[in-house]
Amino acid sequence: MTTPSTATVRTGIRPISVGRRVKDRVVQVLICLAFVLALIPLASVLWMVVKNGMQRFDLEFLTHSMRNIGARDVGGGAYHAIIGTLQQVLLASLIAVPIGLLTAIYLVEYGNGGRLARTIGFFVDVMTGVPSVVSGLFVLAFWILVLGMPFSGFAGALALSILMMPVVVRSAEEMLRLVPRELREASYALGVPKWRTVVKVVLPTAFTGIATGVMLAVARVAGETAPLLLTVFFTDSINNDPFNGPQMGLPLYVFDQAGRPTDAAIDRAWSGALTLILIVMLLNLVARLIGWWRSPARKGS
Amino acid sequence: MVAVAREEGVLGTMAKQIEVSDLDAYYGSHKAIEGITMTIEPRSVTAFIGPSGCGKSTFLRTLNRMHEVIPGARVEGKVRLEDQDLYGPDVDPVSVRRTIGMVFQRPNPFPTMSIFDNVAAGLRLNGRVSRSELDGVVETSLKGANLWNEVKDRLNKPGAGLSGGQQQRLCIARAIAVRPEVLLMDEPCSALDPISTLAIEDLIAQLKKDYTIVIVTHNMQQAARVSDRTAFFNLAAQGRPGKLIEMDDTSKIFTNPAEKATEDYITGRFG
Ligand SMILES: Nc1ncnc2c1ncn2[C@@H]1O[C@H](COP(=O)(O)OP(=O)(O)O)[C@@H](O)[C@H]1O
Ligand SMILES: [Mg+2]
């Protein structure tokens, strides 16, 4: 047996040097600082919206439209905008999620990196870069001006779905690629055809991730103003039919109210912003709940 | 009850012999194995041994057309199950895999499914089966895989919650639940501890009464313990295709092999 000190010399195993300890500390502090720095704008935005939004965040706000509310009147609400946003986002999801998911399945499971797959991938990237106002302009030019369709919530949903699609494709693609090849092979080895393997093994395994991706896409488009401006137009009244006539949306509502010169309108704008944030948060919560409810961890407990 | 998978397959029933003639397998332009000819006897255990990278797994996967699921991979040559050419122009690879099951190196239970659903997966994913029928098949298969007693009280818990050895037996139960005629195993014990390995080896000895079993193994003692026939694969050099050096009764391969390379390998002089 040797004493520890001679063993240290002999094996070359040394304590951590002072220089490395210092560097470790410094980097740790820098990372914490960066974290706090990144948190400041987030926290201050949230705080501003909650503080200012609470002023008018009441039952009247949630259940009334702006119909017959004069320029200087207090009161009124965003019910028409909430309905509009929910319908527009739902319709946009109904269009974008199936197409986006099927595209991702094609890219991951069937494309094999072939020419078609690479072309699709390229155009998905291009779509990711389309400014939101351009998607609105496209729907305005094509759907409303060329085809002669009316301004409607559906036209807005079309514009939003153009923005949603690439986000859904990319996130679903990533999630599908995370499913290990072994699982697909296990299924093939049982004599299960490929399409059934995709539907029954791959998609359920990737479900939670895909749901999260879809929610991110929803959150991304729920706050879009520019495409709505050009496609759903404005209204102060409730319009329950997304296929006919101008509708409202929460981002539009905020934009509209914030531009009016009275305190009452500014308050309504803040409350509209708060409502929008709450809706997106609620949707996220629902996605997480579904994910948790389907997770093996829950079933195992 | 259990005849579902059998009768639907294009390949009839009864014990099956596999005959491979002059088979090459490629990954893209890389030829991984070359000129393999062999006969695999029914209701026996055939072991594949050889150094890493000589193409044992590749060859095994050509036997149930799993090789071609890898993009760019292809096969030349013939594999016959009795009189049927598995690579014939109108053979459905899906039905081949239903007839020739497979167990992988790493246990791979479906993570979203319970123990019961894992075993039932093959039947369920292949069509409608009644619950009572499933109950019967799941119990028989789990008993067949020596796992029933350990899991019978927690059939609806996730399969991923079992130990490695239990997961591998679950995968075996899943594979035999569709009543294949041949069972291919690619190093089924390499991720397991010695006790689980023994459990699987016992299981192989039992299963061979009903199935034709082919097992790839890195472990020479294991090949000697479980197999009736042994095939030794080797490759001339790194990057060259692997070849079948010789195949014979296991006792002969391990005591008196015909080829010098085989003797060198099993006595540990290389590989
Ligand atoms: N998915 C794959 N893609 C490309 N080459 C592969 C793939 N799998 C195996 N190979 C190559 O095929 C050869 C044989 O590999 P493998 O069959 O896994 O050998 P073994 O199972 O005997 O260790 C090796 O040269 C390996 O690099
Ligand atoms: Mg291998």
pLDDT profile of chain A (301 residues), mean per 10: 53 86 96 97 95 92 89 87 95 97 96 92 94 94 92 94 95 95 94 93 92 90 91 90 92 93 92 94 87 69 46
Only one residue has tokens 């807005």, namely: A156
CA B36 to chain A, closest CA, distance in angstroms equals 22
Q: What is the pLDDT of residue A69?
A: 84
List all residues 6 or more positions away from B27 whose beta carbon is below 8 Å from its beta carbon: B58, B70, B72, B73
Ligand 1 pocket at CB < 6 A = B 27, 30, 32, 50, 52-58, 70
* Pair of tokens at residue B132: 């009572």
Return the pLDDT at B28. Answer: 93
Q: Which residues of A touch B108 (CB under 8 A)?
A: 180, 182-183, 185-186
Predicted confidence (pLDDT) at residue B9 exceeds the cutoff of 70? no
Distance CA B53, CA B242 (A): 8
The pLDDT of residue A296: 63
Strands B73-81 and B18-27: antiparallel
Tell me what the mean pLDDT of segment B67-75 comes to. 93
Adjacent-strand bridge partners of B18? B40, B81
Domain range list for chain A: 16-53, 59-300
Q: Are strands B100-103 and B45-49 parallel, antiparallel or unpaired?
A: unpaired
Q: Whose CA is nearest to atom 2 of ligand 1?
A: B27
Residue B128 pLDDT grade (very low, low, confident, very high; cuts 50, 70, 90): confident
Mean pLDDT score across all residues of chain B: 89
- Beta-carbon count within 10 A of B8 CB: 12
pTM comes to: 0.85
pLDDT tens per residue across span B36-50: 999 999 989 999 999
Beta strands in B94-188 (DSSP E): 100-103, 182-186
pLDDT of residue B14: 53
Give chain A's contact residues with B (Cβ, < 8 Å): 112-113, 180, 182-193, 196-197, 200-201, 204-205, 207, 294, 296, 299-300
pLDDT at B67: 95
pLDDT by residue (tens digit) across B141-192? 999 898 999 999 999 999 989 999 999 999 999 999 998 999 999 999 988 8
CB B178 within 8 A of CB A186: no
Find, in chain A, the residue whose alpha carbon is nearest to that of B113. A296
Which pLDDT score is estimated for A5?
Answer: 53
Burial of B75 (0-12, 13-18, 19+ CB in 10 A): buried
* DSSP output for A21-73: HHHHHHHHHHHHHHHHHHHHHHHHHHHHHHHHHGGG-SHHHHH--STT--TT-
How remote is the CA of residue B9 from the centroid of ligand 2, in Å?
A: 28
What pLDDT, on a 0 to 100 scale, did the predictor assign at position B8? 38
> B interface mutation test: which of A190, A197, A201, A295 has the most B CBs within 10 A?
A190
Q: Is the pLDDT of residue B19 over 90?
A: yes
Tokens 């949306």 found at: A249
Nearest CA in chain A to B175: A190
Distance CA A61, CA A246 (A): 20
Q: Does domain A59-300 have CATH number 1.10.3720.10?
A: yes
pLDDT at position A286 is 87
What residues in A contact B98, CB-CB < 8 Å?
Answer: 190-191
* Nearest residue (CA) to ligand 1, atom 12: B32
